[in-house]
Amino acid sequence: MEAGGEHVWLCPLCVLVIVTATALLMLRGRGGRSAAWAAGLMLVGVTVCCVVPAGCLVLAVLSVCYTVAHFTAGREEPLLPAHGKSVLITGCDSGFGHSLAKLLDSAGVKVYAGVLKESGQGAQELKRLSSSQLTVLQLDVTDTNQISAALKLIKSQIGERGLWGLVNNAGVIGYMCDGEILPIRLLRKTLDVNFIAGVEMTQAFLPMIRQAKGRIINISSLAGDVPFPGFAAYGSSKAAVISYSGALRQELSQWGVKVVVIQPGGFKTNILGNQDEWIQVQKEILSTLPQEVTEAYGKEYIYSLQDCLSFMYTHGSSDMGPVLEALKHALLSATPRAFYYPGQAAWAIPFIHRLCPTWLFDTMFSNMFRYNKSQPAGVASKK
């Protein structure tokens, strides 16, 4: 407390606000994740209030904001009718796109599910289990001819009604490795699939979307907002998606078209690839790197890089519910948000990134998110 009693009333009042807010959260959470967050918030808030009186007001405001946001998010919002709307989704072979196609089909939306391999298991499952309203399309988003064929088919079927939604979901992660040893071929492919292809899809279908005053949903990533070691290619491509979407959102608002970014946290999908693909990339790295760079990193370190992908796949969340709920809301809400952050820490980490000084963020997160504990040979030899 400061002399003169300037903060004598402030600290107890702020403690009361924090305790009240967290108590409401605990009652609403009933022992679930909300209750755990509430208990942690109360413990930290009260402790800091007792030690640092100047921080009381800020913590109280944050407590109230968190409580309001939680209660608001929990409200049921009436959605627009699904029937009569048509949505095109790319990357429906598996993962988010596959699950979203099923969800929208069951809700009564006419779904065009673009797949990389029409003969693949995911495509066949969609054909077998979905209604006649769902059409599976052979659609490699990097192939201009296939995009044109899809456009012609969809235009012939829905005509003047226009296309209500385009979900640019198709993507690849490429490979997790240091930016210096990242094969340029892989960087170009990642940018092409994750960013350029989405731009081409958007330009091709925008006239139909404008007819319906519909919406464009672009799937980005936490890595597009926050730089992580090993994600030079993937993060760059998703950062481009965020920037492009922001410009498009402002430009298309005058047409009544809404542009939304979905920015998930870590989920378990096939975007990570498989063991055979990882081995092929390792061989490419070792065969194309200059000798001095290979020696600096060492073969042992390069071989260990695939452990990062194994770790991510093992620890990613298999519950796609939060992402599907965000996508459904983005497509069918009368007032969709510009950004959605489904998944654990999907909004918290970008917030911390913006709040922290660069040196502090790098110190904390470069170690926290360095899934590969090995070190390049040149670094290890200096210790």
Question: Which are the catalytic amino acids?
Answer: 234
Query: Are the C-beta atoms of residues 87 and 104 closer than 8 Å to each other?
Result: yes
Q: Which two tokens stand for residue 161?
A: 């009604």
Around Cβ 114, how many Cβ atoms within 10 Å?
29
Whose tokens are 């769902």? That residue is 134
* 277 closest CA partner among 246, 310, 236, 237: 310
3-class DSSP state for residue 353?
A: helix
Question: For the packed helices 306-315 and 275-288, what is the interaxial angle rounded to 10 degrees?
Answer: 150
Query: Are the C-beta atoms of residues 66 and 41 closer than 8 Å to each other?
Result: yes
Q: Largest alpha-carbon pair distance within the chain?
A: 78
Whole-angstrom distance, CA of residue 162 vs CA of residue 87: 10
